[in-house]
Amino acid sequence: MAKITKFPSALISGDCTTSSLVLDGGSIIDQRIVTAGERGTFFLEQHLLYVVLGGSVTLTCGRQSWTVGKNEMILLRKAHSVSYVKYGSEETGLFESLLFAINDGLLKEFLATQQVQVPPTTEELGAQVSPMSDRLVAYCWSLAPCFNDPSQANPGLLRLKVMELLYNVMDCSKNIFHPMLQLRQPVRRDVRRIVEESLTSPVSLDDLAYLSGRSLSSFKRDFQSIYGEPPARWIREQRLLKADEMLRSSNWSVADVCYTLGFENPTHFSRIYHQRFGHAPSQRPRLFQIL
């Protein structure tokens, strides 16, 4: 089971060998040119505009799945785990894409500059694949010189280029821009559903509060009224119980269980597992060995 890659922090730390342009401490643009067949899972720490320039990619988030082809894009909301499988183009066999991390501050700045009013809504707009206009395609290819020598990319120019992206999306793709507006004001959702859907992702309490459309204090209060205890304690206990069940009833390794359930790393997982059950996860008897 592969480790879940956190986007964009893994790019900033250098854990991923890709070309990235960094703005104000956050990875804003990431270039991927790979051969077909690459697969994995990433956890979104920021909103992601995923642009495909060659080949195609299949993305899966929970029960939803999308295929994004050449000159198409999709907007994915932060605090979700997304699995991917990449396919090369028939012409070159390569997959080419750009990943734009859109943080809340940048989006807020753009909306304030344009004096865009975010209309209130009670219905969440889901992710959807949208074709790119010729103007958007040309914009993406205009970034190539920046990737040729990222050390020479002027920070002021990068900020202008990201703002140019948002202008293009606003003018050329309402199917992407309208959900982008909602990123600033997520719809209020059922706390129980959000929590139970996110148990196996490395979400923080801030993430859960955002996904539920609440402030952190409001989320904690509503959580306590539903589950009868603080969220951090309840979530940790549920993950440990699930981990114990998986270790007893399958032949998965400790690392597999750790990453599948969203724990930080095997060392941390083993420590808190031992605190809870009194022995290391590797010492848990397996049911198929006993029967």
pTM: 0.80
Nearest C-alpha neighbor of 2 from the set 31, 37, 32, 39: 39
The pLDDT of 78-84, averaged and rounded, is: 88
| 115 and 163 co-located in one domain | yes
* Close Cβ partners of 211 (under 8 Å, ≥ 6 residues apart): 79, 186, 189, 194, 198, 203
CA gyration radius, the chain: 21
Q: State the number of CA atoms in the 13 A half-sphere of 245 facing the CB.
A: 8
- What is the Cα–Cα distance from 10 to 6, expressed in whole angstroms? 6
Mark whether 74 and 114 lie in a shared domain. yes
Report the alpha-carbon distance of residue 143 to residue 127 in Å, rounded.
Answer: 25
Give residues with Cβ within 8 angstroms of 268, minimum separation 6. Answer: none
List all residues 6 or more positions away from 135 whose beta carbon is below 8 Å from its beta carbon: 168, 171, 172
- Average pLDDT over the chain reads 84
- Asked if the model's pLDDT at residue 19 lies above 80, the reply is no
Do residues 252 and 266 make contact, with C-beta atoms less than 8 angstroms apart? no
43 and 138 housed in the same domain: yes
Place 290 in a pLDDT band, splitting at 50, 70 and 90.
very low
- Element (DSSP H or E) covering residue 204: none
Provide DSSP, 56-115.
Answer: EEEEEETTEEEEE-TTEEEEE-SS-EEEEEEE--TTTSEEEEEEEEE-HHHHHHHHHHHT
> Which of 59-63, 101-105, 118-122, 240-244 ranks highest by mean pLDDT?
240-244
The verdict on residue 290 lying in a domain is no
Q: Residue length, the chain?
A: 291
Average pLDDT over residues 255-270: 86
- Asked if residue 23 is part of any domain, the answer here is yes
Number of domains in the chain: 2
Average pLDDT over residues 274-283: 90
- Tell me what the mean pLDDT of segment 6-12 comes to: 73
Pick the range with the lowest mean pLDDT from 148-152, 178-182, 236-240, 255-259. 148-152
Give the structural domain span for 110: 5-182
* pLDDT band (50, 70, 90) for residue 117: low
Does a structural domain hold residue 291?
no
pLDDT of 66 reads: 97
Give the CATH number of the domain where residue 95 resides: 2.60.120.810
pLDDT at 291: 38
Q: How far apart are CA 279 and CA 117, in angstroms?
A: 55
* 57: nearest Cα among 83, 30, 91: 83
Token reading at 216: 């952190």
Q: CA 8 to CA 22: how far, in whole Å?
A: 10
Is 78 inside any structural domain? yes
9 and 152 housed in the same domain? yes
Q: Are 70 and 55 in contact, with CB atoms under 8 Å apart?
A: yes
The answer to whether residue 260 is domain-embedded is yes
Same-domain check for residues 136 and 226? no
- Indicate whether 123 pLDDT > 70: no
- The share of the chain scoring above pLDDT 90, in percent, equals 35
What tokens does 56 get?
A: 């195609």
**Mean pLDDT across the stretch 215-226?**
95
Q: Can you give the CATH number for the domain in which 223 is found?
A: 1.10.10.60
Higher pLDDT among residues 290 and 209, named by residue: 209
